[in-house]
Structure 1
Amino acid sequence: MDGHSSHITADFIAFCMDNAIDILILPPHCSHARPLDVSVFSPLKKALAAETDKLTRLDPGRTPRVEWTRAYIHARDKAITQANIQILNKIRQLPQTPPPPPQEQVSYPLDLSLLASSPPDGTELREANALLHSELDKEQPLLSPAKRYTKRITRTLETAQSEVALLRKRLTDAESLLQARKQRKKGKRIALKGKFVFSTQEVLDIAKQAELEAAQKKPKKKVKEGAKATIIDNNKEEDIEIVFSDSDSDCIVVAATRSS
């Protein structure tokens, strides 16, 4: 059995004890090295994959359970043989991984610790270049081409160091600017009618839709029949004008003007 705790339960152990079955528990994540997985189940997986590929080429849709069971039976007959099952009898001794050979420590005449260290900054680089030129002049005077080449290398290193520092500063400023813009774009989410919106236009659209729904649900007032008639009094010299409004409140405005 694999050493995972989910594979070994109390019910399984009780079943093995009742049926006189010895349990061999191997360390987890070593299924690729177990003899049965290598000699028995690995050929079974390959044979089953070949059978399922045949079914897929015939019908690319879903494979029925009956056909898959038949394919598994054919694969099992091909892969699981008597020679494969008796692989444990052939194992005389478990192979052991040989220990790694001791590493020989090579002694270098020079101290190479500086090669594994981080690159120096601008001040350290200039000081190192000045020390290099002074030491070269003390030991043995260099020829003019070699001296010019050495000075050119040191100047190139100093120029590259300055450009790297400048680019690093620009990158830091750009990242801080992008972070500030990202923080400004972030806003609190608003829930209206079960929808989360961010923009002002979406908020206004949902608010207008809510107002229209409320206006449609509002009961309309009945207009009295007496108010629809136009009253004209001939005895009194006055004109009465009735104006019906088309506003949302369905009200009636009556305007009266008295003639002089």
Structure 2
Amino acid sequence: MHQAAWYDALPPQWTIAVSENGWTTDKIGLVWLQTVFNKHTKARTVGQYRLLILDGHGSHATPEFDRFCLDNAIITLCMPPHSSHLLQPLDVGCFSPLKRAYGHQVEICMQLGRNHIDKLDFLEAFKPARAAALSSSNICSGFAAAGLVPHNSERVLSHLQFKLQTPTPPASETVIAARQTPKTPYTVAQLAREYTTIKGLLERRSKSPPSPTEQALKRVVKGCQMAMHNAAFLASKIKDLRAMSVRQKRKREAPRSYIASGGVLTAEEGQERVKRARIADEAVLDKYV
């Protein structure tokens, strides 16, 4: 079921498809080919043919899918199994940044007290994540890293070569000692230990404070500064939590309405259906007022 709330503030050129189990189907794959790939690449074709790189999913191997590609000068390139991390430009250059960007958006929601991401939350988080990850530079980098544009097979073959590496020598005693040097306190317990250290140094000091005392004092000051930064961060977090609470309250109070029982809708079509549904609801209300 398509929910009306999905289409608020959604880019008009986006398309949403639903299925019984949440997985893609042969029909959805064909509709994507016809209304998304073909629509958005036809006017940008350089030469006669277009290249469509596939990962071997069953929805890409139907007779209808193949016939549409043949009729529209689309060359399909199906990658060998378990090779998309080397050959698929999206995997090489885009999906990793997209995963990080989406994870960052989810992390923001989790910091604000959300422990469940529903479909509407996903759309709200995916929109800025997609804008950040699917940039022209990342897309071009993906095609270059896959050795496609510019064509360079060594970009892929070089990853298949085994290289011998000299084992890292064990750390020296000097390095080990350096790792044990006292660090800036990050917790109350660490701050208390630093205070004990300062107290002992002060008890043994002469007329002028020795160098260790000065270093310990600097660490305490830095720890206090970090506490102040944390307080400012918490104040900002509380503000964000309140804003999130307001949005969630509006979301709970908004009635859940459906505009389609299945299939595929572009954002523009969905927004038009939402508009017509609201006009119809207002007409019903006016009738009884």
TM-score of the pair, normalised by structure 1: 0.34
Q: Please report the TM-score for the alignment, with normalisation by the length of structure 2.
A: 0.31
Q: Highest Rg: 1 or 2? A: 1
The structure richer in helix per residue is: 2
